[in-house]
Amino acid sequence: MEKRRISNNIRKLRFNNDEMTQQQLADKAGVTRQTIVAVEKGKYSPSLELAFRIALVFGSPLEEVFSYVLEEEIKEDG
Amino acid sequence: MCYQEKRSIVSAISTVLIFTFYSIYIYQTYLKGNLTYSHDYEFWGSVILILIPVMILANIVIYIIFSIINKITTNENIPSISDELDKIIELKSTRNSHYTFMFGMLLSMATLTFGLPPMAMFIALTCSMMFACIIGDVSQLYFIRRGV
């Protein structure tokens, strides 16, 4: 079975939303900044509820914020 | 370094200090060359029972002092919420801590099997408590840094 991981576009979406800070996103999503840092770096895969809350903050569909990609693709993107 | 990381490090150091000072106190007050306590179950029971409130109180005091110093030096606020990541990290580190204590418990039973005095069993039990606390804090630090 192919190895896949959850990837995200949070950094890009924050940039597109007037350079929203991690703290601002954390406050809006109801979590700590530390959690946003971990999600953004791919160190933590959020629960479905938190993923929806983050997507809701950006006003984007879930698949625009998170994607389930092959591990090789993440390595290629750097 | 974030607040949670610093708190884990402080907690691990304080655990070592509390156990060290408590052990020194018990040794110098009661045990110093005195073998009458080696089979005294009442004494060892009270040593372990007193250790628990001592640890709780000392940890509260150390935590308050750490929070004040952290606020003064970094102006960083204590996180007011505990979210899902915090809970997962806490659960995983508690699991590791419990495994360590279970291992220590088995080790303390082994001391009795090998015919060592009950004192050895109680010392092994107390040490496993200390290691369980340290493993819990170190695991917490590991999960915060490496992710879960």
| Residues spanned by the domain of B85 | 3-146
What residues in B contact A50, CB-CB < 8 Å?
83-84
- Report residue A75 as tokens: 């390595």
Element (H, E) at A3: none
Percent of chain B with pLDDT over 70: 99
Answer yes or no: is pLDDT of A77 > 90.
no
pLDDT band at A70 (very low <50, low <70, confident <90, very high): confident
ipTM: 0.81
* Interchain contact, B79 vs A30, CB within 8 Å: no
In the predicted structure, residue B80 carries a pLDDT above the cut 80: no
pLDDT in tens, B4-47: 899 999 999 999 999 999 999 998 888 777 767 777 889 899 99
pLDDT of residue B81: 80
A41 vs B contacts (CB less than 8 Å): 147
List the single residue in A34, A41, A47 with the smallest CB-CB distance to B2.
Answer: A34
At B79, list the tokens.
Answer: 């996180």
Q: Minimal Cα–Cα distance from B88 to chain A, Å? A: 10
Assess contact for B24 and B97: CB atoms under 8 A: no
Per-residue model confidence (pLDDT) at position A74: 65
Substitution target from A8, A31, A48, A50 for chain B, most B beta carbons within 10 A: A31
From the list A41, A43, A47, the residue facing B84 with the nearest CB is A47
pLDDT, averaged across chain A: 90
Each residue of B47-74: pLDDT tens digit?
A: 999 999 999 999 999 999 999 999 899 8
The domain total for chain B is 1
Q: What is the 3-state secondary structure (H, E, C) of B82-146?
A: CCHHHHHHHHHHHHHHHHHHHHHHHHHHHHHHCCCCHHHHHHHHHHHHHHHHHHHHHHHHHHHHH
Chain A residues touching B4 at Cβ < 8 A: 34
pLDDT band of residue B104 (cuts 50, 70, 90) is very high
Give this prediction's pTM.
0.84
Per-residue tokens: B81: 């919420």
- Whether the CB-CB separation of B137 and B90 falls below 8 Å is answered with no
